[in-house]
């Protein structure tokens, strides 16, 4: 189990960053060059998530861990990350991070789940978008279980 896995996601898969943050994993989005991306991954011990085969093989040669994905289906990609690195695919209200800036959120109200981001000052609560979040995470768990049982 590598619960402390950290990620760097290439620009083509930017929305994956948001989902990893919601699940509580330190994840950054990279839109710069490949060389800088690999350097940053090495320096900060981050796992690269990319669709780019060329980038993946260069990174592997440099000793960086890489998840090379095919499609852009969010649940499939998160399930793959979970299968490879054992990330938790259940939402943890005490561990979640700001989808915008990656800072761990502070739970300010336990009874109705309200959070404050100490990084950017944004407030979060369980609103209408919550149903969508639950649906996506439900699909992630279904795929992850399938993968584990294979």
Site for Zn ion, rule CB under 5 A: 98, 100-101, 103, 117, 119-120
Smallest distance from the beta carbon of 69 to Zn ion, in angstroms? 26
Alpha-carbon distance of 144 to 150, in angstroms, equals 10
Nearest to 67 by CA among 26, 146, 10, 137: 10
Residue 12: is it exposed, middle or buried by C-beta count within 10 angstroms (0-12/13-18/19+)? middle
Residue 16 CA to residue 76 CA, distance in Å, equals 11
Shorter beta-carbon distance to Zn ion: residue 50 or 97: 97
Q: For Zn ion, give the closer residue by CB, 58 or 103.
A: 103
Tell the smallest beta-carbon distance from residue 32 to Zn ion (Å): 21
The least distance separating Zn ion from the CB of residue 117, rounded to whole angstroms, comes to 3
Q: Which is nearer to Zn ion, 100 or 142 (CB)?
A: 100
């Amino acid at each position: 189990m590598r619960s402390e896995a950290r990620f760097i996601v290439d620009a083509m898969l930017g929305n994956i960053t948001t989902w990893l943050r919601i699940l509580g994993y330190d994840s950054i989005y990279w839109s710069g060059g490949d060389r800088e991306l690999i350097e940053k991954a090495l320096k900060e011990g981050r796992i690269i998530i990319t669709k780019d085969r060329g980038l993946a093989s260069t990174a592997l040669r440099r000793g960086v861990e890489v998840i090379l994905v095919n499609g852009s289906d969010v649940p499939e990609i998160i399930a793959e990350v979970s299968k490879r690195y054992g990330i938790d695919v259940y939402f943890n209200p005490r561990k979640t991070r700001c989808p915008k800036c990656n800072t761990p959120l502070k739970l300010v109200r336990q009874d109705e789940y309200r959070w404050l981001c100490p990084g950017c000052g944004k407030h979060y609560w369980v609103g209408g978008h919550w149903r969508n979040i639950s649906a996506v995470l439900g699909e992630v768990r279904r795929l992850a279980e399938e993968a584990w049982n294979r």
